[in-house]
Amino acid sequence: MIIIDGTTFNIPIIRMRGAADMLDKYAERTSDGVLHRELIGVYDNYEIEFASTYSNPQAYSDLWFKLTEPTPWHTVVFPTIFGSRAIEGYFANTSHEVLKQKDGTTYWKSLATSFVSREKRPV
């Protein structure tokens, strides 16, 4: 399950990959071969893949429209080593593919998205 903007979406997560991206204000090597850099901060970004929801197409649809909602920022609760943490950011590269169609309902699979943090990780 995942919590987005205070709403719990009870869709199993089959893969979540977290990355600690270190962003620089600048990083340049001078003529003496020494690298100089000013770190802005560490940003926790995620790639998430959800299970297909053959048994609950409405829950899947609700999640799809939340992930693709035209709003600049979302707050998502992510697991940490000890508990969880709410992170503000946006979803990007959200995609899925048709699993099958039956009785007028289209079932989807391979729902995947990337989450990009808005602010650096607190120190």
Nearest to residue 16, comparing CAs of 68, 72, 87?
Answer: 87
Type of residue at 110: S
> What CATH number did the domain enclosing 21 receive?
2.40.30
> In total, how many domains does the chain have?
1
Q: Kindly give the confidence (pLDDT) of every residue in the chain, 123 residues in length, as a single tens digit, with 9 standing for 90 and above.
A: 899 999 999 999 999 999 999 999 999 999 999 999 999 999 999 999 999 877 788 999 999 999 999 999 999 999 888 899 999 999 999 999 999 999 998 889 999 999 999 999 988
The two counts, helices (H) then strands (E), for the chain are 1, 7
pTM of the full predicted structure? 0.89
In a domain, 70, yes or no: yes
In a domain, 123, yes or no: no
